[in-house]
Copies of this chain bind each other. A is one copy, B any other.
């Protein structure tokens, strides 16, 4: 198969982990006889520095024509004092919205050899394997009005959703549960929010179409507790944008593998933007120290969700597991035994396992 991939390396360690992921994709192409072509564009701080905007038009145009998009990381203290429309994260919000990437998939799974780094007791976190499906282009993030009023004495933001926006993300979550363990937890605040009451109605309607999935409702405050006390309880969680932002970051630290977590932001037709959950880590940028595994696992998600290459995705995931079992690791993983290597060597080890 022929696929065209846009690389958005971004800031900090973004370029080095993106390069590592690209290398693994090239190994896959060779082994399976695919043809992957690559095109690199700027986003975030790098784009601000070179083009005066966090999201240049040609970046958006290139992404619109791509089959898949791989992003490194955006942001850093260098751009923190800029006015808000000029901040690196505007690039991220902008590309999500302009491409209509409404479904954010955030899998959280413990790696046995890394569980010791979890803040949770081993018996609490063992067996955790969950997927957060976060709505990504609606709610408080984009609702209007969002403004000061009355000479600055008042302010409003708006949590707005259409029923259609709810339906498509809830469908996506039911479908995700069907290829996992058939257990869906819908998270809302229906005892306070009108939007949550509508959300609950849509879930109740949709569940008729997925009789094999066991679905339940949970309040967001209760979910924030249960993620800590019993993360293994969850299979798939679906929720609106802001709740998803908070819960997915809370979930990301549970297994002690934050540096290992991939994410996907996709839309109906399969186009998706894939990026590691970790940030741009400017303190270690350019030193070949950064852990490339989250970026590599993000590339695997691209193969699965945008290219329907499940076998290829599994091969990468198995290779990452093997490399960890052999205890190769970068400094961030804090392993006391095994061999500590550079980011590029770790990526090469993954390719060698495939």
Instruction: Give the B-binding residues of A (Cβ under 8 A).
Output: 84, 87, 89, 93, 118-121, 124, 140-141, 143, 146-148, 152-164, 189-195, 197-198, 220-222, 224-225, 227-230, 242-243, 245-250, 252-254
Contacts and interface: CB of A to CB of B under 8 A. Distances in A.
B193 A220 contact: no
B148 A194 contact: yes
A140 B193 contact: yes
A167 B120 CA distance: 37
A318 to B, nearest CB: 29
A153 B87 CA distance: 33
A169 to B, nearest CB: 14
13 contacts: A140-B193, A147-B194, A154-B161, A155-B160, A155-B163, A155-B195, A156-B194, A220-B246, A221-B245, A221-B249, A224-B246, A225-B250, A225-B253
A156 B146 contact: no
A135 to B, nearest CB: 13
Contact of A159 (B157, B221, B249): B157
Nearest to A146: B194
Nearest to A163: B153
A93 to B, nearest CB: 7
The 9 A-B pairs of least Cβ separation, nearest first, read A221-B249, A224-B250, A157-B159, A119-B124, A155-B198, A146-B194, A155-B195, A225-B253, A156-B160
